[in-house]
Amino acid sequence: MKKIVFLVSLLFAAWGSGYAAEHHSGHNPGMGGGGGGSACMKPHLSKFLPAHLTTVVPGAEFSFIALNVNKPEQISVKVKNIPVPIEAEFKDPYYLVKGRLPEALHGTVARINIKVTGKSSHCEAENGWLVTIAEQTKLE
């Protein structure tokens, strides 16, 4: 009888660890369950400068932090649907991303819209913030 109880408990222990590995992928965050799924840690965008709704001059510099991004080519920025060139500096473990508002935008409120693309849709992120762009090139 002791051998049967021991064998049954051994079988449940083996099944339980196999089930956990299959369905929880070892509890690694961002990992898909099942066989062969690729890992994805969703990108995180933060520390937007200048602050939300700050009044800035046309062509003002902006910056933000991008975490969980493999390469800066995955990051794109648009302001009022105008693509904006950016520079990204790797600061381990994040990228410090900088750009300039389009000089052509004056006297308007504009969203700095950031999109990070990945190999799959569950690995993408989008975020942004609003700034007020002054009419003149110098703030008083």
Q: For residues 70 and 100, is the Cβ–Cβ distance under 8 A?
A: no
pTM: 0.70
Q: Which helix (H) or strand (E) holds 10?
A: helix 2-24
Q: Decide if pLDDT at 133 tops 50.
A: yes
What's the rounded Cα separation, in Å, for the pair 8 and 6?
6
Q: 56 vs 21, 53, 64, 106, CA distance in Å? A: 52, 9, 16, 10
Domains of the chain and CATH, by start: 1-39 (no CATH), 44-133 (2.60.40.10)
Q: Calculate the CA 130 to chain-centre distance.
A: 18
Q: 101 vs 33, 123, 134, CA distance in Å? A: 42, 27, 12
Q: How confident is the model at residue 57 (pLDDT cuts 50, 70, 90)?
A: very high
The chain-wide mean pLDDT, for the chain, equals: 80
Q: For residues 40 and 13, is the Cβ–Cβ distance under 8 A?
A: no
Q: How confident is the model at residue 1 (pLDDT cuts 50, 70, 90)?
A: low
Sign of CA dihedral 24, 28, 29, 33: negative
